[in-house]
Amino acid sequence: MLTLEEQRLHAAEASGGISSEVIYDRILKVIGDCDLRGRALDYGAGIGNFTRKLWASGRFEQIDGADILPRPENLPSAISWHQLDLNDADVIPARSFDVVIAAEVIEHLENPRKVAREWFQILKPGGSLILSTPNNESIRSLMALLVRGHYVAFLDSCYPAHITALLRKDLLRILTAAGFSDVRFDFTNHGGLPKLPAMSWQQVSLGLLKGCRFSDNVIATAKAPSPSQ
């Protein structure tokens, strides 16, 4: 029988350590729109694909990556790497980062409330959190729930990588309880058709169908209040 640590490492490896370019590009747009700068942490960095994109953006004076997987090869030497179990990441010093980015991470973790508290602790006052996760309120996901009894991103084929399914209401409650304010939601505006995920709503509608029901992923942003708040 595998140990708990081995199970978690196996789950991380099953995910491939990557997310889609659509998600990365949308998060980068949110970062630009919010003009986020300073020191950033790619939390759940996997094999470092998005960490490299953050570095190439030139927006941040320092970038760190954190994951249960080892430091990726050929990662720029200026990027610091924290190899740790994200289910228990309280070893990261408090008030270290201006921005924490968790792209497609929270659905892999066992206790979203605990990790939200950790994000709050490692952010500097006034810092920003950006996270993305499967959008379980899309038409495709809701149809899977109705027909198959599971959200589409949490079928057996996604297990044990995806273990925690959350709705916007869950995220709002979790982040607010952890101390965050100004929680907002955005969407990738890219979503696969039911039974035909290789074809998107955006393709068949010439880009007209967007938002919650037509996006495979949701993005949440939140603020760690500054001392004056």
Mean pLDDT of the region 43-63: 96
> pLDDT tens across 144-156, in order?
999 999 999 999 9
What global pTM score does this model have? 0.92
pLDDT cut 70: percent of the chain above it = 92
Phi, psi for residue 207 in degrees, rounded to 5? 85, 5
> pLDDT tens across 134-177, in order?
999 999 999 999 999 999 999 998 888 899 999 999 999 999 99
Packing angle between helix 49-57 and helix 21-33, nearest 10 degrees? 30
Q: Spell out the domains of the chain, with CATH numbers in brackets.
A: 4-134+161-189+216-223 (3.40.50.150)
For the chain, what is the largest distance between any 2 Cα atoms, rounded to a whole number of angstroms? 51
Q: What is the pLDDT of residue 90?
A: 78
Q: What is the pLDDT confidence band of residue 91, given thresholds at 50, 70 and 90?
A: confident
